[in-house]
Structure 1
Amino acid sequence: MSFKNDFIKGAIGTLTDTLISTMPKKFFTSQAAANKVMLKGDKTFTNKAGKKWTCGFGKAAYTPEDYETKTYYIAGYDSNNPAKGKLDDLYARAVFLDDNRGNGGAVFCALDCVGISRKDINDIRELVLNSGKLGKVKSINISATHTHAGIDTQGLWGEKIYKCGKDSGFMKNLKKQAAKAIIRAYDNRKDGKFYMGFVEVEDMQADVRTPVTYDKNLTRFRFTPDDNSGDIYMVNFASHAELLGTTSLISADFPAYLIKEIEEKVPGSDAVFYNGAIGGMISAKEIKKVYRNEFDCEEYMKGFGKKLGEIALSIKDETELKPILNIKSKGISVIGDNTVLILARYLNVLNNDIGRTNKRNKACIYSEVGYVELGDKDVAMFLIPGELFPELYNGEFLTEENSAHHRKARYKKVLKDMTDCRHNFVIGLCNDELGYIVAENDFLLNEAMPYIEKGHDDMDRDHYEETNSTGPETGATILNEMEILIKSTK
């Protein structure tokens, strides 16, 4: 490393130390305060079935009515990209699910946005819990679909890098509508049967960074009420919702058209989309053509969503799940190594709950992980607070020869090895957005401008994702905390 690079790196490190050591107390919180409204779920898991499944669906739109006259920033690609129109609405969609064992039900809500902080999610949880309109509930989970054509919900896509891009009125309404969707899901609950099926999707995904590995499965849950009033579909698939490219039109991207296909083909039905392990970076097959704007991106996006909807409806081989819903969450603390994100928090561009660590002038970010089992060991779901590199789920890491640091990944267990359920998958960007969660043996920073400029390894591979991560320790923290959580359910 040259003296110049050494000097710049040292200056950035000093800046981080200074920020952490001089930040007023108001910027920090305790882990107990950050976890205050996180419902922990079941203390231990059991295979004792409840009397029956009860399930309900609710939704509420939160697209601002004044998007044509007021400035709202599109989030996902370039900053300072004001919305100039609307292709489709942004929704909060929620499912309330209960196995009627007496422990309460669980909420699984999805928001059409690029990502949302745990602090904002906790505001939604608080609105729901304080409403007094939900009965016994043991877990409230809120994830982002990761649309890159939604309105800024994190603050990173404003007019200037140092100015928060979120609109306070929009965020207040988003939280209100998300709470409304959850309460509607509870109010609309009915007794019925719950099914799960999955299918391998061929030739629709791409991984733009090695190792080329991702979950090809589309997993579908289907709840059929006893009164035949309309099925509820819950769909999980791993792909960045970024198919409109650098658009200025508000849109939920392909998840909206996946849902539309299901709801049009199955009269009276409702559907929700939950994204998967999309770090690394998992997107649609033709994503590079989208980046280069080589074709009609709107047509491609709609067709992609429609095709996934057709695939979801094509599943015939289903397992009927016994009414067993086991779920547990755990608050975690992640080292905030990224100078840019700490600075953004200092400037109130971001609003994540942070604290000081025992390490010298290091900040930590308070987040959470969750684990779900459905049926009699039929399905497991890992609730992950960010964009997980799939190799942290499936163990298909780069080899010593091909990784940036030329060493093997050093993890005791990956997610899929932590469960004995017959089928399992990740719900990503769930209950927080910590950015990309990168495998440590391939985590490389730009030596001169860490977290500011992307790095390149000795194989000339691009390491962009690290600039949008909390740091190299996040993956290990999440895996370790998940293993502790799962062991605690026994």
Structure 2
Amino acid sequence: MGIWSYSPFNPSFDYGYMENLKQQTVQAIEEAVGKLQPADMTLASAPAGPEGFVDDSRLPIVYDHILCAAKFDVKGTTQTIATVIEWGNHPETLGGSNTEITADFVHYLRQGVEEGVPEPNGVEGLGGMCLYFQGQCGGLMTQLHTTVPHRNGQQEFREASFEKAEALGENLAIVAVNALNGDRAKKSQTTNLAVSAQSIFVPIDGLFEIAGILGLVHPGWFWGKARTEVDAIRIGDLEILTVPGELYPEVGNGGVESPEAGDFYLPPLEVPPLRDQMKGELNMIIGLANDELGYFVPKSQWDVEPPFAYNREKAQYGEENSMGPDATPAVHSESMAIIERLHATLERL
């Protein structure tokens, strides 16, 4: 993200890193476009947890534990071009003391989908390339306090380690492959292709506003707001919504609450759930898309001042890494609008 490259005594947004990232992105897009070919798409979803996969460390308990998968095959064959996976959890199995640059469980997930997971209880790989997209991980989706079983049924891992990351990734790969090979997998029957993109302005509050003014964390500061983007995409029977940060699953899937001791005692604003407005056979909500504006905390659950909600003695984690209490209502409203615009476009096709 370009903000961790300097010491805390000399903070600065790393424009050099971001420019290199843009160049690599352009090259990846050009390579992908150069390899375009007709394809069939198969869609599937399956529960991955929560037990043994993910824990919600903040009240209320709401998960985004349904793993969504889309497999693209060379048209008329079973030869896999690529598999897209979306699931909601932080890749942080190695814990806060880890100093290694690593994809965490995502590496083992991708490797398992592409090459297979060995016995016992393994699966044959699908081939092609596996791409992982982050789902809704705010609120806070983590495996840090989760005991992850090994596929052999004899071992389990609770403490942070590469072994735990491998076990989690392989278990996810097994879920994905079995879902795509299962009876409930569906081949897309339409060839619709549509994209709606919208630049939006999200209110910034507190320390992040100061950091934005100084150019330390976000280059798109516009007088108290961050310029960012939401997108809605339709590929055949697959519908995708992108959000520029870590969305709380209660915003996407439902379950926003209004606890009495919250800082803003008001009815939930982020309703209806975003996923309920989507119309694909499979609906993905991809977070950390085009931007990272931190946690999108529902305003009615914002809670930094005592007394604290849910009879807690101290505040829950989340707000300190959020743009502020008005960020989530703005993102929800703009996401609703972009979904509606996408559907209007599809009606004209």
TM-score (norm 2): 0.82
Distance 1:342 1:410 in 2: 23
Residue deviations 1:444-471 (CA, integer Å, cap 9, x gap):
2358xxxxxxx95553253331111111
- Matched residues in 2 for 1:269 and 1:442: separation? 42
- Residues 268/200 of structure 1: CA separation in 2 closer, same or farther (3 Å cut): closer
Deviations for 1:74-132, whole angstroms, at most 9, x for unmatched residues?
Answer: xxxxxxxxxxxxxxxxxxxxxxxxxxxxxxxxxxxxxxxxxxxxxxxxxxxxxxxxxxx
Secondary structure class of the residue paired with 1:214? coil
Aligned to 2:255: 396
Q: Distance in 1 between matches of 2:87 and 2:129?
A: 17
What SS does structure 1 have at the residue aligned with 2:333?
helix
Secondary structure in structure 1 of the residue aligned to 2:222 = strand
After superposition, residues 134-213 of structure 1 pair within 5 angstroms as 153-156=1-4, 158-160=6-8, 162-164=10-12, 166=14, 168=16, 170-202=17-49, 203=51, 204-213=53-62
2:161 paired residue number: 297
Query: What are the within-5 Å matches in structure 2 for residues 342-353 of structure 1?
Result: 342-353=209-220
In the superposition, relative to structure 1, how do residues 429 and 415 fare at CA in structure 2: closer, same or farther (>3 Å)? same
Go from structure 1 to structure 2 and tell me whether the alpha carbon gap of 1:401 and 1:379 turns closer, same or farther (over 3 Å shift): farther
The question of whether the paired residues in 2 share the 8 Å contact of 1:385 and 1:434 is answered with yes
Residue matched to 2:93? 243
**Is 1:337 equivalent to 2:190 in the alignment?**
no
Q: Distance in 2 between matches of 1:184 and 1:253?
A: 26
Match of 2:106 in 1: 255
Change over 3 Å in CA distance of 1:208–1:402 after alignment to 2: farther
Q: Which residue of 1 aligns with 2:131?
A: 272
Residue 249 of structure 1: how far off its partner (Å): 1.0
Post-superposition CA distance 1:328-384 (Å, at most 9, x none)? 11111111113x22222344322321112xxxxxx1110111112333xx4322111
Distance 1:407 1:299, change over 3 A: same
Q: Deviation digits for residues 418-455 of structure 1, max 9, x if unmatched?
A: 233343231001111110000111112358xxxxxxx9
1:8-53 deviations in Å (ceiling 9; x for gaps): xxxxxxxxxxxxxxxxxxxxxxxxxxxxxxxxxxxxxxxxxxxxxx
Q: Which residue does 2:152 correspond to in 1?
A: none
Q: CA 1:157–1:341 in structure 2 vs 1: closer, same or farther (change >3 Å)?
A: farther
Q: Equivalent pairs: percent with the same residue?
A: 24
Partners of 2:196 and 2:147 in 1: CA distance: 39
Query: Counterpart amino acid of 1:371?
Result: A
Paired amino acid for 1:472:
P
Summarize the Cα distance change of 1:456–1:155 in structure 2 as closer, same or farther, 3 Å threshold. farther
CA distance in 1, matches of 2:10, 2:313: 31
Distance 1:171 1:487 in 2: 32
State the match for 2:120 in structure 1.
none
Letter aligned with residue 330 of structure 2: T
Code of the aligned partner of 1:263 = E
Structure 2 counterpart of 1:239, one-letter code: N
TM-score of the pair, normalised by structure 1: 0.60
Is the radius of gyration larger for structure 1 or structure 2? 1
| Counterpart position of 1:325 | 193
Post-superposition Cα deviations, 1:237-275, rounded to whole Å, max 9, x if no partner, equal: 000111111211111111111111112123641110001
Q: CA RMSD in A?
A: 2.6
Counterpart mapping for 1:30-41 below 5 A: none
Equivalent in the alignment of 1:282: 141
1:479 pairs with one of 323, 332, 336:
332
In the TM superposition, residue 405 of structure 1 has moved relative to its aligned partner by 4.5
Structure 1 residue 412: deviation in Å? Answer: 4.6
Q: Could you tell me how far 1:488 is from its partner in structure 2?
A: 2.8
**Alpha carbons of 1:477 and 1:288: their partners in 2 closer, same or farther (altered >3 Å)?**
farther
Alpha-carbon contact 2:258-2:301 (below 8 Å) kept: no
**Distance (Å, rounded) in 2 between the aligned partners of 1:402 and 1:342:** 26
> What letter matches 2:233 in structure 1?
V
Tell me the distance in 2 between the aligned counterparts of 1:336 and 1:242: 27
For structure 2, the residue ranges without an aligned partner over 5 or more in a row are 117-124, 149-156, 345-349
For 2:205 and 2:160, the matched residues in 1 are separated by: 39
Q: What is the deviation of 1:156?
A: 4.4
The Cα offsets for residues 61-83 of structure 1, whole Å up to 9 and x where unpaired, read as: xxxxxxxxxxxxxxxxxxxxxxx
Superposed, 1:5-16 pairs within 5 Å as none
> How many residues are matched?
318
Deviation at 1:395, TM superposition (A): 2.3
Relative distance call for 1:390 and 1:161 in structure 2 (3 A) is: farther
Asked if 1 retains the 8 angstrom alpha-carbon contact of 2:54 and 2:89, the reply is: yes
Residues 461, 424 of structure 1: alpha-carbon distance in 2 compared, 3 angstrom cutoff: farther
Q: CA deviation at 1:302?
A: 1.5
Correspondence 1:291-440 to 2 at 5 A: 295-315=159-179, 316=182, 317-321=184-188, 322-338=190-206, 340-356=207-223, 363-375=224-236, 378-401=237-260, 403=262, 405-440=264-299
C-alpha change, 1:406 and 1:446, in structure 2 (3 Å) is: closer
Q: Secondary structure at the match of 2:324?
A: coil
Moved more, 187-196 or 259-268: 259-268
In structure 2, the CA distance between the partners of 1:355 and 1:207, relative to structure 1 (3 Å rule), is same
